[in-house]
Chain A
Amino acid sequence: MKNDIILSGVGGQGILSIAATIGLAAVANNLFLKQSEVHGMSQRGGDVQSHLRLSDKPVASDLIPHGKADLIISVEPMESLRYLPWLSDKGWLVTNSNPFINIPDYPSLDEILKEIKKIKNHIIIDADGIAKEAGSARSGNIVILGAASPYIDMPFESLEDAIKKLFGKKGDHVVETNLKALRAGKEFSVT
């Protein structure tokens, strides 16, 4: 088993929570794991990405080689396209449909979505809208994780357990809304 996942978005959008959730689940499943993060300067409203590698064998490189990613999970649509050199031809791209516009020359959303739809395996999800319905506008990132979960080779329950562990300190309400968000995302993908 091998899952090479690229997480992408804009600094502050919560890709590290997605990474932490998958990471906890991977440890619980006794998988080998490497997860490379971006800290420092690029956090300030710049593009950020994380390379997350899960395997039943030891993982050598902290970085995913080009053309080998099985999955891109993106919290922002334009950012999902930035990592296409890494996506394998059988890989999936799962992205939020809601743009984060903090640059003056942000392209037209229609054009971006057109490009995403050219990718053979793609899922575009209104994560912000679904998160709001789930009762927490801030759980958009977890909705996207839910939407990507069918393409991660771990039992869905282990992601749920990881959410419970990760958000446990913040109280039952936060855990519940995030679980709702995760399930709603999965629902969107599988139906």
Chain B
Amino acid sequence: MKRVLLLGDEAIAQAALDAGLSGMYAYPGTPSTEIMEFVQSSKDASDRNVHREWSSNEKTAMESALGMSYAGKRAMVAMKHVGLNVAADGFINSAITGVNGGLIIISADDPSMHSSQNEQDSRFYGKFASVPCFEPSNQQEAYDMVFEAFEVSEKYKLPVLFRITTRLAHSRASINLRETIPQKKLSLPVDPLQFVLLPAIARIKYKSLLSAYESLRYESRISKYNNFKDGRRRDLGIIACGIAYNYFLENVGESVNDFPVLKISAYPFPKELIKDLTGRCNEILILEEGAPVLEEAIRGILDDGIKIYGRLDGTVPRDGELNPAIVAKAIGLPLSYGQDVPSLVKMRPPSFCNGCGHADMFKSLNESIKPYGTGHVFSDIGCYTLAALPPYNAINSCVDMGASVTMAIGASDAGLFPSVAVIGDSTFTHSGMTGLLDAVVKNSSVTIIISDNSTTGMTGGQKSHATGRIEQICEGIGVNREHLRIIVPLRKNHAENVRIMKEEFEYKGVSVVIASRECIQTATKRKRSEN
């Protein structure tokens, strides 16, 4: 058997390739990015001609994957948890259309928000859409589960949600690989109306989705990823979901047979297995990485059954990711600790790289906006969000992809002048273009600065769909050529850039300033590979 050392993300990618994947779709987002990156650099993928281009955003990725599935082939789409919000329309409705070729949606959650704006738990989406949801507990299981997820997807003709979290995604382990399965041939759905969600058809399809849910429960009960193991103790039983099971094992060590424990890695909740546990124990502890999804379901509104410990009663903190210490405390095991961090150790927040074009752009922006006071700059998601920190203190918002443009429009509607948006190139083509169209149609008084570093920088320099196209896109959307300004954010151009920004702030209409300079990281990488 072949063994390789892979990140959790890479294990999922390799598994998909080994399971006969024909198309991988994604938009970069921590902690999911490495799935597509691995497929793109994989020799297997290139030998087997697997489709592997980035998409403009998670919605286009989701829908393209659904199209690949429509054509009978196995497809995977990967995104970070908030990306699933962007893709939600297609995702939820794909449960109603159902699939043809197997379809897996990877959603990588980021509890503790290492690199995110929230810590939503994607398992909610599994229930919401009424689809099977898998949550591997370790990297090997992540690899193996992809095969089963494709099988379940094709057996029930449903998309499968595959939820991972940061620690699994970004931790390496040695993986045993399976034999490769060949790709499926092109074959259209038997029912030509399967994907046509006209109300009359959707009503019928929704009923069959609802009735399939009981079968999915049965799958969960017999799934090899959900195991109940009895133990000696009767006072406390444990339910551990996904990666929480590892922290349980880490803590109990040799005394693993003391506790009755139910490991859950496949949803819907395996009702019978939960009853097996609760029938044997006086009290139970629920360990979940993320939100108390299972805990809320078991407690219900009345919460008058068995005594339950978990995130809702404070046994486990209500927010943030789990770790060995939190789980030890929750089980009631002794805690170990080294020494406190000496007080002289200072925070070292992330900052702009030396030679970053965003930094020079913000210096010019700060100077040109100064006469108007603070509170005029809406921003977005990318490296440039770091300008919220000192010494720049330059931006007043970062909400979701593309929101800089649309929030600037709303604030301008309310009378804020000037109203400025700062958005990166990749974020602009992800979700900024439609907002710009709103601004053009309404002739909003906004200045949109597109800080173009010609890459998707924050996630490590993936190809940006915007590269070389921003000017044309803005013109095409209808931005007046006279108010479409191109600047190069370099220190030597500072005075000129300040002048241009000031002019555009004063313009009572839509203006776009494209500040273009290649990301210093990707430029260095590019030069190295050219040499």
Contacts and interface: CB of A to CB of B under 8 A. Distances in A.
Interface residues of B, number: 49
A41 interface: yes
A84 B338 contact: yes
A42 interface: yes
Given A23-B5, A39-B460, A41-B458, A69 B338 contact: yes
Contacts of A27: 3, 5, 174
Contacts of A102: 348, 351
A104 B249 CA distance: 43
B33 interface: yes
Contacts of A33: 5, 172-174
Nearest to B7: A37
A69 B170 CA distance: 20
Contacts of B31: 39-40
What is the interface residue range for chain A against chain B? 35 or more
Where chain B touches its partner, the secondary structure class is loop
A136 B458 CA distance: 29
A60 B249 contact: yes
Interface in A113-138: 115
A40 B345 CA distance: 23
Contacts, number: 154
B167 A63 contact: yes
Nearest to A39: B170
A1 B351 CA distance: 39
B325 interface: yes
B247 A60 contact: yes
A32 interface: yes
B171 A34 contact: yes
13 contacts: A27-B3, A33-B173, A37-B171, A40-B31, A43-B460, A44-B353, A61-B249, A63-B167, A65-B250, A66-B335, A84-B340, A103-B349, A112-B344
B336 A65 contact: yes
Contact of A85 (B243, B246, B339): B339
A140 B173 CA distance: 26
B325 A65 contact: yes
A79 B346 CA distance: 9
A44 B351 contact: yes
B168 interface: yes
A111 B345 CA distance: 10
Interface string B454-486: 000011100000000000000000000000000
A47 interface: yes
Contacts of B328: 65
Given A40-B114, A42-B114, A85-B337, A62 B344 contact: no
Interface in B323-351: 323-325, 328, 335-342, 344-351
Interface string A90-117: 0100000000001101110001100100
Where chain A touches its partner, the secondary structure class is mixed
Given A38-B114, A102-B351, A65 B5 contact: no
B174 A61 contact: no
Given A41-B458, A103-B346, A88 B172 contact: no
A179 interface: no
B11 to A, nearest CB: 12
Given A66-B325, A69-B338, A40 B348 contact: no
Contacts of B5: 23-24, 27, 33
B274 interface: no
B30 A41 contact: yes
Contacts of B460: 39-40, 43
B323 A63 contact: yes
Interface of B: 3, 5, 7, 30-31, 33-34, 114-115, 167-168, 170-174, 243, 246-247, 249-251, 323-325, 328, 335-342, 344-353, 383, 386, 458-460
Given A40-B114, A60-B246, A89-B338, 8 more contacts: A24-B5, A35-B172, A44-B351, A45-B348, A61-B246, A66-B325, A67-B335, A112-B344
B270 to A, nearest CB: 22
B348 A81 contact: no
Nearest to A87: B338
B160 to A, nearest CB: 24
A67 B251 CA distance: 13
Contacts of A82: 341, 345
Contact of B342 (A40, A69, A87, A115): A115
B336 A62 contact: no
A65 B324 contact: yes
Given A61-B250, A65-B324, A43 B350 contact: yes
Given A33-B172, A107-B346, A85 B458 contact: no
B341 A81 contact: yes
A124 to B, nearest CB: 15
Contacts of B171: 34-37, 51, 62
A62 B137 CA distance: 11
Contact of B337 (A66, A78, A79): A66
A45 B353 contact: yes
A51 to B, nearest CB: 8
Given A34-B172, A40-B30, A67 B344 contact: no
Given A61-B246, A61-B247, A78-B345, A46 B170 contact: no
A102 B458 CA distance: 19
A38 B114 CA distance: 9
What are the 7 closest A-B residue pairs judged by CB atoms, nearest first?
Answer: A67-B336, A40-B30, A40-B115, A46-B350, A61-B250, A65-B324, A60-B249
Given A35-B172, A68-B336, A112-B344, A42 B350 contact: yes
